[in-house]
Structure 1
Amino acid sequence: RYYSSSEFSDLAVHTLDQDFKVHRVVVCGQSEYFSRLFQGTWLEAKESEIHLKEDDPRAIEAMFQFMYGFEYDSSGSDQGRTSPMLLNVKVYQVAEKYQVRQLKDRAREKFKSIVEACWQMDDFPVAIEEAYKRTTKEDRGLR
Structure 2
Amino acid sequence: MEPKPIEAFGASLQGYYNNKCLSDVLVRCGDQEFAVHSLVLFCHSDYFKRQLTGPWKESEDKTIEIKDFDANIVGAMLRFLYSFDYDVPPNTRTMIFHAQVYQIGDKYGIETLKKHAINKFESVVNEAEVDAGFASTLADTISIVYSTTPSGDRGLRDIVVQSSCTHFEYLTSEASFKEVLGRNEDFSADLVSLIYESWGKFTWRSSLGLSRTKANILSHLRLSADITG
Give TM-score, length-normalised by structure 1.
0.92
The answer on 1:124 being equivalent to 2:124 is no
Determine which structure has the larger helix proportion and give its number: 2
Partner residue in 2 for 1:21: 35
Q: How many residues are matched?
A: 139
- Equivalent residue letter for 1:50: I
Query: 1:1-143, aligned counterparts within 5 Å?
Result: 1-74=15-88, 77=89, 79-80=90-91, 82-118=92-128, 120=130, 121=134, 122-143=136-157
Deviation at 1:17, TM superposition (A): 3.5
Q: Distance in 2 between matches of 1:58 and 1:87?
A: 9
Deviation at 1:28, TM superposition (A): 1.6
Contact 2:24 2:62 in 1 (8 A): yes
Q: Distance in 2 between matches of 1:22 and 1:119?
A: 38
Deviation at 1:6, TM superposition (A): 1.1
SS state of the match for residue 117, structure 2? Answer: helix
Change (3 A) 1:47 1:4: closer
Percent identity reads 36
SS state of the match for residue 5, structure 1? Answer: coil
Change (3 A) 1:138 1:96: same
Q: Distance in 1 between matches of 2:82 and 2:35?
A: 12
Moved over 4 A (4+): none
Deviation at 1:119, TM superposition (A): 6.0
Give TM-score, length-normalised by structure 2.
0.58
Structure 2: gaps (5+ residues): 1-14, 158-229
Q: Distance in 2 between matches of 1:4 and 1:16?
A: 16
Contact 1:31 1:98 in 2 (8 A): yes
Q: Which one has more relative contact order, counting CA pairs under 8 Å at least 6 apart?
A: 1
- Equivalent residue letter for 1:51: E
Structure exhibiting the larger radius of gyration computed from Cα positions: 2
SS state of the match for residue 34, structure 2? Answer: strand
- Cα RMSD, aligned residues only: 1.2
